[in-house]
Amino acid sequence: MGLTIADLKKGERGIISDISSKNIPLKLLEMGCLPGNIVELLQVAPYADPMYLNINGSHLAIRKETAALIFIDKLSHE
């Protein structure tokens, strides 16, 4: 379908475009993981799991399998 948060590399950013999966924890939605918000990959733990993100100023860690459910439009480097 398109790019997901799991496709980001360290330092890359994107705008969340779709979170339609029923498997996304409600806690992520409450912390700002919503369409239109900017997400930046800050760090990746060993073995690429979890991924540490900045979503509209909130820092959180999510599993790569969850990140693969959240679609984004990639932002170019500024």
What is the CATH classification number for the domain harbouring 61? 2.30.30.90
Q: Give dist(CA 49, CA 46) in Å, integer.
A: 6
pLDDT class for 7, splitting at 50, 70, 90?
very high
Tens of pLDDT, residues 9-50: 999 999 999 987 788 888 888 888 899 999 999 999 988 789
Number of domains in the chain: 1
Q: Give dist(CA 9, CA 41) in Å, integer.
A: 7
Tell me the residue range of the domain where 19 lies: 5-75
pLDDT of 20 reads 78
pTM of the complete model: 0.86
pLDDT of 9 reads 93
